[in-house]
Structure 1
Amino acid sequence: MRARSGMASIAMVVALSAGATAQAEPGRYGGGFIEFLMTGEGTGRARPIGVDGYGAPAEPRAAIAPQPSARFAALPIQQAPEPSAVARAIDSRFSRQVVAYDGPGRPGGIVIDTNAKFLYLIQPAGQAIRYGIGVGRPGFVWTGTKTITAKREWPDWTPPAEMLRRRPDLPRHMAGGPGNPLGARAMYLGTSLFRIHGTNEPHTIGQNVSSGCIRMMNEDVIDLYERTSVGTRVEVI
């Protein structure tokens, strides 16, 4: 009798377990999903719906690359720029970074090395913030000293007459916005047609591509724009 009673107890436990599994199976989450909802963790086979929102399994944590959120802020960190305005370069050599600096200029000034494709915003104590840039094509590279005479956010673009003669297909005027070739910000240099500005073609950073303007990634030109003022000295070497 005791043996039969023990067998019956075991059978009842197995049946209850099977029933619980059957109830959980339609959603394929099991008890682990409830634990996930309550605690954010789970020990069962359950996983939350994938990030695409269509039920695809979420990637393991180790497979998710860290997001370069520091690139969206100033150095040192300030308020992040608009994510929709950010356009990243492909070559990591041209990422914004603080470097040792012993070149020309004074703290607060800008030095642009057209050969190396770098713009330096000089800092105290022998340092500079270095940004990758695109510069003029052969025949359009220039050197000299200017000052920032105006600053614009999401500037409009009106191609000058000489550019229209070379490229009659260009629009006569383009309103500011993410598709505008001047990008998120523009700093006008002296009385010339040259600007330091953003771009809608981040893959061109590090190249000779412009008609003489200094081209930057949008997140970088936003950062530089916030750090400089009208009257800042710009030396192009």
Structure 2
Amino acid sequence: MTRNVTRRQALSGGLAMVGLALAGCSPTRTAPAPQPVRPPVDRDFILNYGSRPNEEFPLPAIDPKVLEPKFRRTRVAYQSNEDDGTIIVDTTSFYLYLVEPSGTAMRYGVGLGRQGFEWSGRARVAWKRPWPTWTPPAEMIAREPHLEKYSAENGGMQPGLGNPLGARALYIFQGNVDTLYRLHGTNEPASIGKAVSSGCVRLINQDVIDLYDRVRPGAKIVVT
């Protein structure tokens, strides 16, 4: 038996087909692509180790990938019989502590060189200098003759980002005798926490600036 198709039904069916065809031509809506998740901003790191454009020689920011969290500047609980303001260098752990009141200390990660391991004892900070000149000792020049151009007779190496003493230096004396021991900056952040070929005790430039501002001339230093 055949079905009678009315004009209205035919028109209705045709419109439905047109609707389906138009739907097929419409662009398909897709979910937005997931955005990459950005790591949280470490504001303390930026504050401590960001760039220093106002320095005499502007310092670049430190890459957090090259400075292990355990060697970053931080205040820690620290019990000591030493006076407030005393610097304690623990060469076994690559830490420098600046003793504070109430059982705390500001702790800095350091790198150590040959002199850093050879000298220990008690002394004082005779003076400190911003952006110091570097004068290699005679023993170093004997080992590395190319450093003769930076001898005391030749005026040393002028300050700058390439100077081994970095942005600040603290000069250590026992009585009136120069120990040739220095606390100084470095532009090699990857050397912190390691024993490097030469030098005394090196800190990130941003850290040695912080230490320099906290330490008074004449402060005691204890190296273990």
Q: TM-score, normalised by structure 2?
A: 0.69
Aligned alpha-carbon RMSD (Å)? 2.7
Q: Pick closer, same or farther for the CA change 1:162–1:96 going to 2, 3 Å.
A: same
Asked if 2 retains the 8 angstrom alpha-carbon contact of 1:81 and 1:219, the reply is no
Q: Pick closer, same or farther for the CA change 1:147–1:81 going to 2, 3 Å.
A: farther
* 1:169 counterpart residue number: 146
**Are residue 158 (structure 1) and residue 128 (structure 2) matched?**
no
Q: How does 1:98-177 map to 2 (within 5 A)?
A: 98-137=75-114, 140-170=117-147, 171-172=149-150, 173-177=156-160
Compare the two structures and name the one with the higher strand fraction: 2
**Are residue 185 (structure 1) and residue 185 (structure 2) matched?**
no
Offset from partner CA, 1:162-184 (integer Å, 9 cap, x none): 00111122342311011111000
The one-letter code of the counterpart of 1:116 is: S
**Are residue 84 (structure 1) and residue 67 (structure 2) matched?**
no
Q: TM-score, normalised by structure 1?
A: 0.66
Query: Which structure is higher in RCO with an 8 Å CA cutoff and minimum separation 6?
Result: 2
- Cα distance in structure 2, aligned partners of 1:65 and 1:178: 30
* 1:4 counterpart residue number: none
Query: Which among 200, 218, 221 is matched to residue 231 of structure 1?
Result: 218
Larger displacement relative to structure 2 (190-199 or 217-226) = 190-199
**Are residue 63 (structure 1) and residue 50 (structure 2) matched?**
no
**Shift in Å, 1:213:** 1.2
**Shift in Å, 1:62:** 4.5
- Cα distance in structure 2, aligned partners of 1:215 and 1:120: 13
- Cα distance in structure 1, aligned partners of 2:107 and 2:219: 16
Q: Pick closer, same or farther for the CA change 1:115–1:87 going to 2, 3 Å.
A: farther
Asked if 2 retains the 8 angstrom alpha-carbon contact of 1:178 and 1:184, the reply is yes
- Cα distance in structure 2, aligned partners of 1:204 and 1:226: 23
- Cα distance in structure 2, aligned partners of 1:223 and 1:188: 16
- Cα distance in structure 2, aligned partners of 1:231 and 1:86: 31
- Cα distance in structure 2, aligned partners of 1:197 and 1:206: 15
- Cα distance in structure 1, aligned partners of 2:190 and 2:46: 19
Asked if 1 retains the 8 angstrom alpha-carbon contact of 2:128 and 2:168, the reply is yes
Asked if 2 retains the 8 angstrom alpha-carbon contact of 1:148 and 1:232, the reply is yes
* 1:7 counterpart residue number: none
**Shift in Å, 1:102:** 1.4
Secondary structure of 1:206's partner? Answer: coil
